[in-house]
Chains A and B, each alone.
Chain A
């Protein structure tokens, strides 16, 4: 695989909007999640972080899922130094999600129940189709290139990144905005509370390789502007992507970041895919558990490779089999791998490098 250079990153999560806010959060470490009316803890994005008259001016009716997606994608483009005013026919857009705009789906069903089948909101219906957010990105940045939304409960981001690479390789586009979006909703928080082990104290334990990991639900969006043009590189590159049952990671990396989001069942598997005592980190305590958190881990890796620092994992992980930093460490970093697994036994590894 040729290196997939990262030309820009945009991110929105509970800790705020923008890479600066994300980096600040990585430096600060854990903060408590907030309780809903029903008392359920989650890392939710503040409404103020989803207001932006300029970025959202052409997408006034976007639902919350649409807004957080557009803002992250918009920011990835601006991070590259090019504003959305420029028309970009040679840009592809790939949005990956696990659960899509479920808050809107539930709102639509509310309408069916409360007002009857004949009185439902057409706008809410349109937003409940998963690809409305991608359509809003295209509209917001004036992009008439290929636009695709993909969904999976496992490795949605990793497969999307692979597709971005394939599109660039075949010359379908010159650059791709590829990213993920997830949102919280009251019904989804209820569902997670039934099926998962919620962290009553708000602290996840992703480095402890537990059979029943604790989770705090999160929401957010991360987008990468990627290209095969090294001249555009701002944050290093994705150098390899491996997905499957038999695949292995790399022993020669400076750090392994675990995509241990607490939503995929037992996390004991990480003991066998990452060497004992190897340096490892996990940052789900910053943004919460999401099935597409792989993208957030890659964003953290990109920042660390750029600034040559290993951020401490939020929340001390007693009994972790790995070498875990309790404080940020400035150290030469050439390569980081982001490791994910799914309960069907498949795993995914993304290798990121600071230079090629």
Chain B
């Protein structure tokens, strides 16, 4: 069964729609700054979605609001704005912050006094992404909020595909969201992997990640649904692989066993050999460990000349949204025939056998791979195809 992407919506510091995002990619513009969404002593550049004020739910549910903004854009793009009410669809969304009861003001009051008002808790109980989307759209069907750390939305997309191939739904909405939050800011800082300068994925002098926030939603449909609706296929998701390292809680397996497995499975499902891959949107966080492992694996599987990049130089690390955003960026790249410079990269690391693209680069093939690695040894990969001809049907 072919799984088509018929619409997408994205929100990140790189842009709140496709046009602005592509403009920033083209110009190599990186919109980072100090944390402004909450008071913090930590002085590190972050990638916030500026001037975002679309509150479908209370403003404190920022992750959900970002997700719904991306959802609306995706549905408009797919021509499905009002068409889903009462229908059976799948909703699979990835997040980390969006699933945790971590409202700082609530907890500070409780910590001090042993009591606190319940507003934050009531909001939290409304904020499960997949459940809230079903409620928002008035739909029923498979529902899953995936919390697989930084691989969450890639796994959400993969799960949605599995549902569709099993016949549980003909249409699914998949992606993820995460807001700028004190917990990962302090947490990554305590791990020593939060950079105090703009991140430099795969660079010799890289010293950590920048935190970001964002959301991405893809509308997935099977062939029947595409044909019945006369929908436009923007891309096909041909393969998905997901594997655990079973190695360490916060460090990836230095040999990349899980990542090799995940990529191999995605290629296998698509029945495509490595040389067919035009480019790779790597996870590329800018940390010593991630980029070393990922570089090693990509070089081993695809050779040192494979075109690849990390887009986290434009968005920061958006955690649960990362995989979804990067799938969208891969689709945009295949449609437009170019990938942006891997922002932040200047000098090749002698220990990494390949280097990402240093400038905007034309691409000519039809297949992209997007990889995600997460805490807890999660590894996930998606294989994306630009259809031979766009327009109606597959």
Decide if A and B touch, CB cutoff 8 A: yes
Instruction: List residues of A whose CB falls within 8 A of some B CB.
Output: 61, 93, 99-100, 102, 105-106, 108-110, 112-113, 116-122, 125-126, 128-132, 134-136, 138-139, 141-155, 159, 162-163, 165-167, 169-170, 172, 187, 190-191, 194-195, 243-246, 344, 346
Inter-chain CA distance A147–B250, complex, in Å, is 15
List chain B residues, Cβ under 8 A from A110: 111
Inter-chain CA distance A66–B149, complex, in Å, is 15
The 6 closest A-B pairs by CB, nearest first: A135-B376, A125-B187, A130-B147, A147-B244, A122-B190, A138-B246
Residue B258 lies at the interface, judged by CB distance under 8 Å to chain A: yes
Considering the complex, give the chain B residue whose CB is closest to the CB of A150: B144
B104-130 with Cβ < 8 A to chain A: 104, 107-108, 110-111, 114-115, 118, 121, 125, 128, 130
Among B96, B104, B159, B186, residue most surrounded by chain A Cβ atoms (within 10 Å): B186
Inter-chain CA distance A165–B190, complex, in Å, is 39
Inter-chain CA distance A320–B249, complex, in Å, is 48
B223-271 with Cβ < 8 A to chain A: 242-250, 257-258, 261
List chain B residues, Cβ under 8 A from A112: 104, 182, 186
- Which of B101, B121, B165, B189 makes the CB contact (< 8 A) with A195? B121
Residue B146 lies at the interface, judged by CB distance under 8 Å to chain A: yes
Check A152 against B244 for contact (C-beta < 8 Å): no
- Give the interface size bracket for B toward A: 35 or more
- Contacts A105-B100, A118-B42, A131-B374: A148 and B125 contacting too (C-beta < 8 A)? no
Check B145 against A125 for contact (C-beta < 8 Å): no
Check A129 against B163 for contact (C-beta < 8 Å): no
Inter-chain CA distance A244–B139, complex, in Å, is 10
Inter-chain CA distance A342–B195, complex, in Å, is 43
Considering the complex, give the chain A residue whose CB is closest to the CB of B135: A344
Check B145 against A100 for contact (C-beta < 8 Å): no
Residue B288 lies at the interface, judged by CB distance under 8 Å to chain A: no
Check A149 against B147 for contact (C-beta < 8 Å): yes
Considering the complex, give the chain A residue whose CB is closest to the CB of B146: A150
A-B contact pairs, 9 of them (CB 8 A): A100-B147, A125-B186, A130-B100, A131-B374, A135-B378, A136-B249, A169-B166, A170-B166, A243-B142
List chain A residues, Cβ under 8 A from B135: 344
Task: Name the distance in Å between A304's Cβ and chain B's nearest Cβ.
Answer: 29
Inter-chain CA distance A146–B161, complex, in Å, is 15
- Contacts A125-B186, A125-B187, A131-B378: A144 and B258 contacting too (C-beta < 8 A)? yes
Considering the complex, give the chain A residue whose CB is closest to the CB of B163: A166
Considering the complex, give the chain A residue whose CB is closest to the CB of B147: A130
List chain A residues, Cβ under 8 A from B41: 116-118
B310-351 with Cβ < 8 A to chain A: none
Considering the complex, give the chain B residue whose CB is closest to the CB of A114: B111
Task: Name the distance in Å between A267's Cβ and chain B's nearest Cβ.
Answer: 18
Inter-chain CA distance A129–B245, complex, in Å, is 17
Check B191 against A152 for contact (C-beta < 8 Å): no
Residue B278 lies at the interface, judged by CB distance under 8 Å to chain A: no
- Which of B118, B142, B190 makes the CB contact (< 8 A) with A159? B142
Check B118 against A191 for contact (C-beta < 8 Å): yes
Check A131 against B163 for contact (C-beta < 8 Å): no
Among A99, A131, A138, A143, residue most surrounded by chain B Cβ atoms (within 10 Å): A131
List chain B residues, Cβ under 8 A from A147: 148, 242-244, 376-378
Check B183 against A125 for contact (C-beta < 8 Å): yes
Inter-chain CA distance A195–B120, complex, in Å, is 12
Task: Name the distance in Å between B64's Cβ and chain A's nearest Cβ.
Answer: 13
Residue B143 lies at the interface, judged by CB distance under 8 Å to chain A: yes
List chain A residues, Cβ under 8 A from B245: 138, 144
Check A120 against B141 for contact (C-beta < 8 Å): no
Considering the complex, give the chain A residue whose CB is closest to the CB of B319: A129
Inter-chain CA distance A121–B40, complex, in Å, is 17
Check B111 against A132 for contact (C-beta < 8 Å): no
- Contacts A128-B100, A170-B162, A187-B107: A138 and B377 contacting too (C-beta < 8 A)? yes
Check A130 against B107 for contact (C-beta < 8 Å): no
Considering the complex, give the chain A residue whose CB is closest to the CB of B265: A172
Task: Name the distance in Å between A169's Cβ and chain B's nearest Cβ.
Answer: 6
Check B146 against A99 for contact (C-beta < 8 Å): no
Supply 10 further A-B pairs (C-beta < 8 A) apart from A131-B149, A344-B135: A100-B147, A109-B108, A117-B41, A120-B189, A130-B99, A138-B246, A166-B166, A166-B168, A191-B121, A194-B118
- Contacts A130-B99, A144-B245: A162 and B190 contacting too (C-beta < 8 A)? no
- Which of B111, B261, B377 makes the CB contact (< 8 A) with A113? B111
Considering the complex, give the chain A residue whose CB is closest to the CB of B111: A113
- Which of B101, B121, B148, B182 makes the CB contact (< 8 A) with A131? B148
Residue B375 lies at the interface, judged by CB distance under 8 Å to chain A: yes
Task: Name the distance in Å between B212's Cβ and chain A's nearest Cβ.
Answer: 17
List chain B residues, Cβ under 8 A from A155: 143
Considering the complex, give the chain B residue whose CB is closest to the CB of A194: B118
Considering the complex, give the chain A residue whose CB is closest to the CB of B103: A109
List chain B residues, Cβ under 8 A from A120: 186-187, 189-190
List chain A residues, Cβ under 8 A from B40: 117
List chain B residues, Cβ under 8 A from A61: 249
Check B375 against A126 for contact (C-beta < 8 Å): yes
- Contacts A117-B40, A152-B143: A142 and B246 contacting too (C-beta < 8 A)? yes
Residue B102 lies at the interface, judged by CB distance under 8 Å to chain A: yes
B139-174 with Cβ < 8 A to chain A: 140-149, 155, 159, 162-163, 165-166, 168
Check B166 against A149 for contact (C-beta < 8 Å): no
Check B244 against A132 for contact (C-beta < 8 Å): no
List chain B residues, Cβ under 8 A from A159: 142-144
Check B102 against A105 for contact (C-beta < 8 Å): yes
Task: Name the distance in Å between A352's Cβ and chain B's nearest Cβ.
Answer: 20
- Contacts A121-B190, A126-B375: A149 and B146 contacting too (C-beta < 8 A)? yes
- Contacts A100-B147, A113-B108, A152-B145: A134 and B376 contacting too (C-beta < 8 A)? yes
Residue B131 lies at the interface, judged by CB distance under 8 Å to chain A: yes
Check B108 against A131 for contact (C-beta < 8 Å): no
Considering the complex, give the chain B residue whose CB is closest to the CB of A59: B249
List chain A residues, Cβ under 8 A from B187: 108, 120, 122, 125-126, 128
Inter-chain CA distance A121–B183, complex, in Å, is 11
List chain A residues, Cβ under 8 A from B118: 191, 194-195
Check B143 against A166 for contact (C-beta < 8 Å): no
Inter-chain CA distance A131–B101, complex, in Å, is 15
Considering the complex, give the chain B residue whose CB is closest to the CB of A344: B135
- Contacts A131-B376, A135-B375, A170-B165: A125 and B191 contacting too (C-beta < 8 A)? yes
Inter-chain CA distance A149–B130, complex, in Å, is 14
Task: Name the distance in Å between A133's Cβ and chain B's nearest Cβ.
Answer: 9
Considering the complex, give the chain A residue whose CB is closest to the CB of B193: A122
Inter-chain CA distance A90–B165, complex, in Å, is 20
Indicate with 1 or 0, residue by residue over B169-201, a CB within 8 angstroms of chain A CB atoms: 000000000000011111111111000000000
Inter-chain CA distance A99–B99, complex, in Å, is 8
